[in-house]
Amino acid sequence: MTHAAPPFDVTRIREDFPILSTRVRGLPLVFLDSGASAQKPRVVLAAMTRFLETSYANVHRGAYHLSEVATEAYENARAAVARFLNAATPREIVFTANATAGFNLLAHSFGPSCRAVVVSEMEHHANLVPWQMLRDRAGVELRICRVTDAGELDLDHLASLLADGRVGLVSVTHMSNVLGTVTPAERIVAMAHAAGARVALDGSQAAVHRRVDVQALGCDFYVFTGHKLYGPNGIGVLYGRLELLEAMPPFLGGGDMISEVTLSGFVPASVPARFEAGTPPIAEAVGLHAAIDYVSAIGMGAIEAHERRLTDHAMARLSALPGIRVLGAAQDRGGVFSVAVDTAHAHDVATLLDRRGIAVRSGRHCAEPLHARFGVESTCRASFGLYTTEAEVDAFADALAEAREFFR
């Protein structure tokens, strides 16, 4: 007998996050910067503390009890990530330091096999700069897919970039960290595969807000980071099809990524160990496992439905404010809103919002070319989490209106 997940109760869920009871300048904290790094529920904090207090040791190398326990916990985390993404096997999951490390690994170990790589104008620097470095280092051509005025990927332009059959990889975001745009991943994968190219998706935002099934998407690589998924910082994930990972050379050299070493050379370990040189993020993997269990118990479908309601409400409120420009108007978007106020710089607006206890990000959000594409120097970004409330969205909108008047 299957049991349905309990109804989504954001008030009850907020009780799981101790930091949300914090007061800022005497006011309740309104935390709207989850897109940069999400807050952590008690179960994540407790799991890591319990592991460090009772079970910590280095993994894979010790023949003693604590090392065996730690290794089991570390590999159980890998299996949990595989289930979360619906990977075919845990061997397709590589732990990295963060999403940036995942893309650098791809650029070094898979990128040189490509004649050309396609990225888009809306990419986070983590999915742009490694490919620029590959271009400069190895001469791999870098092609940039345009973004429409609505903030959507220009699929006609993508088709033209793929037409000559030279592209080895299309590496694009699954959900923009600036526009909230959710890209049509299945269609992108189909187009790329038809042209003989592989596909990597940056899921740093998408994996937090929606259920991700890498087998259903058909992508070849998928990257996300733990600290946005209510887990700890210092751990990220690279999913790769097993046959592709097995054909890729190691990125970093050192301990644990080898099966044999002599003074004249080495033999790399099997996948995924060959990509996890040195002591890995062990306690962080335990924390990520706890975070995945936490969101899975709530239900990614329930989280998505809650955040869709918030997104619709935010779009209605923000689009009605005079002098407030919301970047992007994609048909499918998530709870990320980057706004420009016509009377003030984003940093000044964010500082004033902080006086109201509202935490938002200001700047270019590691997406400088995208801001240039839309003709803005910088924006204030509100990004939602599963604990965000409609009242917090209203507080953000009201504070923006006040800020515009204040700086006139």
β-strand partners of 171: 200
Distance (Å, rounded) from C-alpha 402 to C-alpha 343?
11
Q: 15 CB contacts (<8 Å, ≥6 apart)? A: none
Nearest to 361 by CA among 382, 343, 345: 382
Please work out, in degrees rounded to the nearest 5, the angle formed at the alpha carbon of residue 233 by the alpha carbons of 228 and 234.
130
**Contact, 204 vs 238, CB < 8 A?**
no
Out of 114, 145, 219, 366, which one is annotated catalytic?
366
Nearest to 202 by CA among 275, 148, 276, 126: 126
CB neighbours (10 Å) of residue 3? 5
**Contact, 250 vs 274, CB < 8 A?**
yes
β-strand partners of 237: 95, 224
CB neighbours (10 Å) of residue 305? 12
Is 114 annotated as catalytic?
no
Three-state DSSP state, 114? coil
Distance (Å, rounded) from C-alpha 353 to C-alpha 344?
12
Residue numbers annotated as active site: 366
